[in-house]
Amino acid sequence: MSSALRTALLRTWGARDADSRPHPGTAVALATSGASAVEPYAARYLPTLVHAAVVPALAVGTLVVVDWPSALVVVLTLPLLPLFAALIGRATEESTGRRWAALAALSGHFLDVVRGLPTLVTYGRAGRQVETVRAVSDRHRGATMETLRIAFLSSAALELLATISVAIVAVTVGLRLSHGSMTLGAGLVAILLAPEAYWPVRRVGAEYHSAADGAVALDAVLAELDHPDPSRPSSTDRSPGYEVRLEGVTYAYAGSTVPVVRDLSLVAGPGLTVVTGPSGVGKSTLLDLVAGLRVPTSGAVAVPAAHYVTQRPFLVTGSVRQALTIGHAATDEQLWESLRTVGLDGVVASLPGGLGADLGDDGFGLSAGQRQRLALARAWLAPETVLLLDEPTAHLDPDGAEEVARVVADLAERRVVIAVTHRDELLAYAHQHVEVRRPHPVDVPVDDAEEAVR
């Protein structure tokens, strides 16, 4: 069940645009702890609830036949257990909700800190975040202890009520046995059946507290799975061909009324289209729109299947071969050819195991420039006709940037390549240069590319 929920969540989030997805920290908490917590709720608590609806009725029915006074005691005292359980359960639900919110906050904050750790270290602010993470962790610990305290107190209260109720039945049976008003067999049956009438309700209380996280998590999971599609329909057309066309595209981030891209029109055919412009004018957002990761507020995007190389390419933990063959198969000869094309064959050959050499998390063991080249080698192998590159020469020295620019130019001979850059190495190979300014892009002659970058 947990695996099925995780799969459903990932598919749902993958089908949405970036603005309608939850915060990564919240998503991680929901897909890990949340999905795991649903299983005890569905596998133990719900069956126990059904058991509690059937067994007490059968026990009371039998007691009515055997000894109606004992059945009367059970009928009068049994409703007290679910009543107290409901009252305590309301407090438990509120406490569990606070604990779940604290867990989501802890996950989200910790993820943000890890993502921004290089910047924090650069500016000497990493130490302060230790205290912040500790404070968030303390809030989560406090919420957890509050939930446990309520769970233990409620279990003790239910056990006390059930014990007193069974004791009342036992005392009444004992008194009637001593006066000879009932048989020993009937008394034994009454004493043995009375606990069975209370036991399922006690189990419901115990299982509810152990599965309370699952109830809250299930609501959150169902809310994500039932999340409505964005109000604006997708205007991205994945028709086959060798042309990218944007017509009157406007895009604003969720919660913002100021468009980051306004009335943008662009046609990119086979060859290299270089997009430049100051930081913050929407160059990377433009690539997200072409890739289909974001849905334009207005306008239309027509683009064939595209391969997107982000500014910080994602590399799976595994071998070099696995990093190169995500989404498509390739022979070792093709892998080596792609590595030679980007000038990385010597580096991979020097690794223990060559293509089978293990890389750490996110390409740990390779420099930033080597990770960038490995992502370009993966793009070289990809079958898509459109290649989107976000700062492909970032983190490279001038010689490395020039070599990567030649690789990109080679890729552009048989594909539509759109590259965003702040550097001028790619401009020498550009078939089209688009400078993005607010409120819309300006075409710049390729001969004046160097001046445009300045």
Q: How far apart are CA 274 and CA 427, in angstroms?
A: 7
> For residue 298, what are the β-bridge partners?
250
Question: Do 258 and 192 sit in the same domain of this protein?
Answer: no
Q: Do 74 and 132 share a domain, yes or no?
A: yes
Instruction: With cut-offs at 50, 70 and 90, classify the pLDDT of residue 371.
Output: confident
- Residue 268, beta-bridge partner list: 244
Looking at the chain, the whole-number percentage of residues with pLDDT higher than 90 is 0
| Ranges 96-105, 153-162, 181-190, most confident | 181-190
Residue range 20-48, pLDDT digits in tens? 777 676 777 777 777 777 777 777 778 88
Q: How many domains does the chain have?
A: 2
- Give the pLDDT score at 442: 46
Contacts of 60 (CB under 8 A, 6+ apart): 71, 74, 75, 78, 197
405 versus 85: which is more confidently predicted?
Answer: 405
Residues 245 and 191 in one domain: no
Residues 326 and 205 grouped into a single domain? no
Q: How far is 72 from 84, CA to CA, in rounded Å?
A: 20
Give residue 405's pLDDT.
Answer: 86
If asked whether residues 295 and 201 sit together in one domain, one would say no
Backbone angles phi and psi of 236, in degrees to 5: -95, 120
Domain end point (choices 156, 190, 225): 225
- Average of pLDDT values for 165-171? 86
Q: Based on the fold, state whether residues 251 and 141 are members of the same structural domain.
A: no
232 located within any domain: no
In a shared domain, residues 309 and 181:
no
SS3 263: strand
Chain segment 201-250, per-residue pLDDT in tens:
877 777 766 666 677 777 777 777 776 554 444 445 555 567 888 888 88
Q: pLDDT grade, residue 392 (50/70/90)? A: confident
| Domain-embedded: residue 231 | no
Whether the per-residue pLDDT at 58 is higher than 50: the answer is yes
Higher pLDDT: 93 or 123? It is 123
Domain assignment of residue 34, given as a range: 2-225
Q: What is the largest CA-CA distance in the chain?
A: 114
DSSP string covering 71-114: HHHHHHHTTHHHHHHHHHHHHHHHHHHHHHHHHHHHHHHHHHHH
Q: For the sheet containing 416-420, what is the strand order?
A: 306-309, 386-390, 416-420, 271-276, 432-435, 442-443
Residue 248 token pair: 């009157």
**CATH code for position 182:** 1.20.1560.10
Q: Dump pLDDT digits (tens) for 299-331.
A: 888 888 888 888 878 777 788 888 888 878 888
Check: pTM over 0.95? Answer yes or no: no
Q: Which residue type is seen at 35?
A: A
Q: Are 203 and 269 contained in the same domain?
A: no
- CA-derived radius of gyration, the chain: 32
* Integer Cα distance of 362 and 336 in angstroms: 21
Average the pLDDT over 146-166 and give the result.
Answer: 77
The domain boundary, picked from 193, 225, 257, lies at 225
The CATH number of residue 419's host domain is 3.40.50.300
Q: Residue 192 has which token pair?
A: 């043995």
The answer to whether residues 316 and 203 belong to one domain is no
The stretch 351-374 carries a mean pLDDT of 79
pLDDT at position 438: 63
